Copies of this chain bind each other. A is one copy, B any other.
Amino acid sequence: MIPTPYLLYLGHSSDAIGIKTSRGLAIFRPEICVGEFRHDDCPLTLGLPRLTIAEGAAAGARTLVLGIANSGGTMGADLVEDALAALDAGMNVAAGLHQRLRDEPRLAARAAELGLQLFDVRDPPADLKVGNGYARAGHRLLTVGTDCSVGKMYATLALTRGLQARGVTADFRATGQTGILIAGGGVPVDAVVADFISGAIEALAPARNDDGWDLIEGQGSLFHPSFAGVSTGLLHGAQPEAIVLCHDPARTAMRGIPGRALPDLAECLDLNLHMARLTSPHVRAVGVCLNTSTFDAAEARALCARTEDRLGLPCTDPIAFGVDPILDELLCLESSARSTIASH
């Protein structure tokens, strides 16, 4: 486990999407974030106190979280200098970059010298097994998407908290670096060796018999030409009883693939259900989550209503409007699934 609380790093970032890991922590785990560190040229803020490295350490921060994504996932010299300063101030350092902290010799040496830790949350766990797809006990929900970065993590967290608020045991199962830092654990599925994708997810959400739910963060999209393999293995490993489709109605092209249109929502749902049946024959869709942050409230409500009518499923923006309609559908589904099992 990564020692908390955190000081969140923004550095020199000027790209709002690039700081999504830091922002996710500020939104979903504010109680473990003492502040944000940013240089004078950084126009962004998470609304947390702006602290220097020394002030962060004095405020009790035990880990500097490099919650930014540089182009290519690499570390610039400035970022290494800031991380060294954090070590010198007695903090551990965590990051979800492709390039590992421990592979930067100066960081590795300084951390060892000072008895501090470097956390590369994109390291997949050792000793993964291949998946087997055998039916396993427990309730599992997976978020799937029309594209990458359409709000699957936010939706999964909102659904988890919604269930908990209703007194249902529910656990968020993280599959990306931001989710892993929020949850304190998980599997960075995009960094797993290809043979082990579904097996990694079977290990992340093993059989459970407490009537609780595992809510598994989806990744990519079956329709994304870069990442559909990850999404397929994730779907099979998750063996979900329920899926929720996530979509960004403002997106005009698949992320990173200019010119490629997003799939139709109904087609996307159908293919996800079809593929999911390989390991979860009774899988059902229980809702749609839209990221309507670029629309005004009336437009957003109208979009949700139209989507709901068209797909015959509850549709909401989990951040703007909450997830109650989806939870109602999910918990009904749970009861009906049980009566089906009982009647066999």
- Does A225 make an interface contact (CB < 8 A)? yes
Tell whether A22 is near chain B: CB-to-CB under 8 Å. no
- Nearest CB of B to A267, in Å: 11
For chain A, the count of residues having a C-beta within 8 Å of the partner chain is: 36
A278 touching B225, Cβ below 8 Å = yes
A317 located at the interface, meaning its Cβ lies under 8 Å from any Cβ of chain B in the complex: no
Contact partner of A232 (CB less than 8 A), chosen from B132, B134, B190, B232, is B232
Residues of B within 8 A of A3 (CB): none
For A131, list chain B residues within 8 Å (CB): 225-226
Q: Shortest beta-carbon distance, A211 to chain B, in Å?
A: 25
Rounded to whole angstroms, the CA-CA distance of A275 and B236 in the bound complex is: 16
Which of B226, B233, B257 is within 8 Å of A228, CB to CB?
A: B233
How far apart sit A225 and B276, CA to CA, in the bound complex (Å)?
10
A198 within 8 A of partner (CB): yes
Is B233 in contact with A194, judged by CB distance below 8 angstroms?
yes
Q: Is the C-beta of A133 less than 8 angstroms from some C-beta in chain B?
A: yes
Q: A232-B232, A256-B130, A257-B133 are in contact. Are A225 and B198 (CB under 8 A)?
A: yes
Q: Does A230 contact B (CB under 8 A)?
A: yes
A279 to B193, CA, bound (A): 23
Please, how many angstroms separate the alpha-carbon atoms of A56 and B4 in the complex? 60
Q: Which residues of B contact A236 (CB under 8 A)?
A: 225, 228-229
Q: Which residues of B contact A134 (CB under 8 A)?
A: 257
Given A223-B278, A278-B223: A197 and B130 interface contact (C-beta under 8 Å) = no
